[in-house]
Chain A
Amino acid sequence: MDSLLVPSSIQRIRAFLIEMAGMKVKPWASVDETLHALHATLVARRSCDIFWTSLRTLLEALAGDLKARQEAQAGTLLDNEILSVERYLALLEEIRACLARQSEDAPSFRRLAHGLSAPALGLLLLLGGVATVGCESTSLRSPGSKPDASVTAPASQPDAHPPADLARERMPGQPDATADRVPDNNPIIIVVPQPDAAVAPSTGPYDAPVTMQEILNSCGVASADQSPILSCLNSLGEAWATGVTDYLAGKSCDTVTSYLSDVEWCAQSGGCRAMPSTTPFNPDQEPCAQPVLVYLGVRFV
């Protein structure tokens, strides 16, 4: 083993998920999606003794890695850890808390199960989530990532339905999973914040038309960036300037900044050009005369 390389937390978690749940987190899954998959597994496999043993091993490995990084001399280890120290520590705490809770919960569940008749126990399992009991692999999906399918679980396994109390747990930095929970078999939700919208177009006969300046302000575009954008739009001609404004009014700020970044790109590369006055605005047409790559003040065509 190359002594420079301490496994990153994401590498540890990916290996753990494959080993314990047969869950292949797609290579293009984000860090949050990978942590979320771990969290989902913590929920779904809570009654599997082997799982908890492995989780303890994961915790020890993560703690050991952190210690190795902290004790290493600066520059001697590969800087391959993605999580910040704070987030890393929070992850350790989260796993420790799960382990502690498990050691408290497991006996009480077993006592409860032991005291129930077979039909009652069956009903309990059905209501509480069959897949949370036992060591079968469970299929856990992140609806928020569809159709990304960043997490793949064995297709033959039933979906998990974790108990509500555990479904509310969150990984550090994760949004509250219960906020957008849907009442189906997909209890793990990755909440994608909806972008704010730009100021809406005027509708009433007495409303003043929305200006580009207002759109830029409403989307929080820095004033330093506004100037080249407005200048470029002006040089494109009135039809285009008006068309762009009408097109962006009411659109999400993501759409606004996305489109205007093209305009700023034109401005930076000197590509803004006057469109013929007869040319109607077309949102799919580039406002640039010729896109060029600009890097550190050097131009490449």
Chain B
Amino acid sequence: MRTTGACLPGSSLRLSWHPLDRLAREPQTCIWEITRRCNLQCIHCENCCGERSARELSAEQIATTARALVELGCRHLHVTGGEPLLHPQWEELCRTFVRLGLRTSLITNGTLLDDDRLARAQGAGVAAVGISLDGLEATHDSIRLRAGAGPSPFRTAMAAVKRACASLPTVVITAVNRRNLAELPALRQLLADVGAQRWQIQLVIPVGRALEVAEPFVIAPAQLEELMAFIAEARKGGQPPHIDTSDTIGYFTERELELRGPAGQPRLWTGCQAGIRALAITYDGRVRGCSIMPPEFDAGDLHDEPITTIWNDAERFAYSTRFDARKLAGACGRCQVGPLCRAGCTTMAYWTTGSIYSNPFCLYRIRGAQA
């Protein structure tokens, strides 16, 4: 079907198709929050995690859903939470996922990833580990709060990074905010020193507890210039850790190609793939295109329907599957590459403006406003 698509550079006409319209719809990547339970109370947590939810899926429900996910085409599964290592059956679940053929990774705050758990994760077949690190020690510990007394979350997380890097592919994940933006170069050096190979950088989205922080916490869009310059320069050198730029960062400046893709394989941002290639399952069994999307984006509930029914109804993911570029609004509605970009990260756009059709976190847009 022909739909309104991308604007051609320098032309008054628009492409009748969009690159995402030609992708086979398949949930290749799934992020799965297996519990809401968490031993930290991070000030930017989108789910306000802490206590276990009474609606969490049983191990049997999880296994059944995982089997169906594989049949739908899922290949990569990111197990997260809450803190996934606090799920009493995390190891068994990971083993099940791996047995089904899913490349399974664990995303953890690192505070519980000791030698024993790391060995158990490896034994279960976990292919990679993601560990959150939100700045240098004082900053990280001011963001990732421990509920009670205990060692510094930063120190335990750094120890976990060192430990994991020695045995498994490890990705450090940093949610950039005003407190840690200036620390990124020092953090990069620190990660290089401990042998980290991969570093995912994303923006804190104004959602959940991040809305309750007393001082300005989410970075100002104008600070994207500094962030993108850092990422582009760091990637250029080719030295580890290799930076994976998240979908929240961009879009379409002259450095766009320096931001995305594996080393040597630059990729152009062509819109959010939530609900097209990506899927998320929340700690209480709701299904969305992306884990940070608000409840309005719920496509279904695994307590009520199987994942196959939910996924196969593309209409439930209409924000991606039937994206209508004619609805782009505000500055994105006037932007030449808006129909190709689709207002960047859908979740960021929606949380900040109330509409998926306009996104203030766009450097191209900011530069346009400043010009």
**CB closest residue in chain B, given A10:** B354
Pairwise interchain contact B222-A75, C-beta atoms closer than 8 A: yes
What is the size, in residues, of chain B's interface with A at 8 Å between Cβ atoms?
57
Pairwise interchain contact A30-B329, C-beta atoms closer than 8 A: yes
**CB closest residue in chain A, given B317:** A28
Pairwise interchain contact A78-B360, C-beta atoms closer than 8 A: yes
Option from B2, B11, B220, B257 in Cβ contact (under 8 Å) with A75? B220
Any chain A CB within 8 A of the CB of B212? yes
Pairwise interchain contact B327-A257, C-beta atoms closer than 8 A: no
Residues from chain B with a CB closer than 8 A to the CB of A294 are 8-9
Any chain B CB within 8 A of the CB of A132? no
- The answer for the CA separation of A82 and B16 in the assembled complex, in Å, is 26
Pairwise interchain contact A27-B206, C-beta atoms closer than 8 A: no
How many residue pairs at the A-B interface have CB separations less than 8 Å?
139
Question: Of B119-127, B145-153, B318-326, which binds chain A?
Answer: B318-326
Any chain B CB within 8 A of the CB of A48? no
Residues from chain A with a CB closer than 8 A to the CB of B9 are 268, 294-297
- The answer for the CA separation of A257 and B4 in the assembled complex, in Å, is 10
- The answer for the CA separation of A295 and B221 in the assembled complex, in Å, is 23
Pairwise interchain contact A82-B358, C-beta atoms closer than 8 A: yes
Contact size range, A: 35 or more
Question: Of A1-9, A114-122, A205-213, which binds chain B?
Answer: A1-9
Option from A28, A78, A82 in Cβ contact (under 8 Å) with B220? A78
20 A-B residue pairs with Cβ-Cβ distance under 8 Å, sorted by A, are A1-B211, A2-B213, A4-B216, A4-B218, A4-B220, A8-B354, A10-B353, A11-B354, A12-B354, A28-B327, A79-B369, A82-B354, A82-B357, A148-B322, A225-B13, A259-B16, A261-B11, A294-B8, A295-B337, A300-B266
Starting from the known contacts A27-B296, A147-B315, A268-B8, 13 additional A-B residue pairs (CB-CB under 8 Å) come to A2-B211, A10-B353, A11-B353, A14-B354, A28-B322, A30-B327, A78-B218, A79-B369, A82-B353, A224-B11, A225-B12, A294-B8, A300-B266
Interfacial residues, chain B to chain A (CB-CB below 8 A): 2, 4-5, 8-9, 11-17, 19, 206, 210-213, 215-218, 220-222, 252, 254, 256-257, 266, 268, 270, 293-294, 296-297, 315, 318-319, 322-324, 327, 329-331, 337, 350, 352-358, 360, 369
